[in-house]
Chain A
Amino acid sequence: MTFPLTIRNIEKSIDEFHLNIQDLTFEEGTISAIVGTNGAGKSTFFKMLMNLVKQDNGEIEVFGHSVRGEDDAWKQQIAYQAQTMIGCDAFTGEQLRNLMAEVYPSWDESLFRRFSEKLNIPLNKKVQKLSPGVKTKLNLALNFGKNTPILMLDEPTAAMDIPSRNYFIQFLLELMERGDRTVLIASHQADDIKKLADYLVFINKGSVTRLLEKDSLVSSYRLFWLKEEPQVSRIPGEIKRTYKKVILSNHPEATMAYLSKNGLVIVDEQVPELEDIIQEILMEGEMINV
Chain B
Amino acid sequence: MDTMRKAFWLAKLELDVSKKHYLLLLLIAGIYTFFFYLTMPPYLEENIFLLDAFLIIYVGSLAFSIKPKNFQYQKLDDGLYASPYFAMLNQLPIKRNVLVASRFILPYLSIFIGITIVLVGTYIFSTDLREAIEPLPMIALIITWLCISFSIGGIFPASDPGDQIKRFTFFWSYMIIIVFFVGMYLIFQVWLDTGFFKWTIQMANDFTILSIIVSILIACLVTWYWFNHAKKQIQKNDYLQ
Interface residues of A (CB under 8 A from B): 14, 43-44, 47, 50, 52-54, 70-76, 80, 82, 84-91, 95, 98-100, 102-104, 128
Contacts and interface: CB of A to CB of B under 8 A. Distances in A.
A103 B94 contact: yes
B91 A80 contact: yes
Contact of A73 (B13, B93, B236): B93
A191 to B, nearest CB: 28
B87 A90 contact: no
Given A14-B238, A53-B240, A103 B92 contact: yes
Contacts of A99: 13, 92
Given A47-B239, A98-B13, A87 B93 contact: no
A98 B13 CA distance: 9
Nearest to A106: B93
A72 B238 contact: no
A264 to B, nearest CB: 51
Contact of B238 (A52, A74, A85): A52
Interface of B: 9, 13, 16-18, 68, 70-71, 76, 83-96, 235-236, 238-241
A90 B93 contact: no
B65 to A, nearest CB: 16
Nearest to B17: A90
Nearest to A15: B78
Contacts of A87: 70-71, 83-89
Contacts of A53: 238-240
Given A44-B240, A98-B13, A54 B235 contact: yes
Nearest to A68: B235
B239 A91 contact: no
Nearest to B84: A87
B13 A95 contact: yes
Q: What 7 A-B pairs have minimum CB-CB distances, sorted nearest first?
A: A87-B88, A75-B93, A87-B84, A87-B85, A52-B239, A76-B93, A90-B17
B13 A89 contact: no
A240 to B, nearest CB: 35
A90 B240 contact: no
A90 B14 CA distance: 9
B68 A90 contact: yes
B17 A91 contact: yes
Given A80-B91, A103-B92, A103-B94, A89 B70 contact: yes
Contacts of B239: 47, 52-53
B1 to A, nearest CB: 17
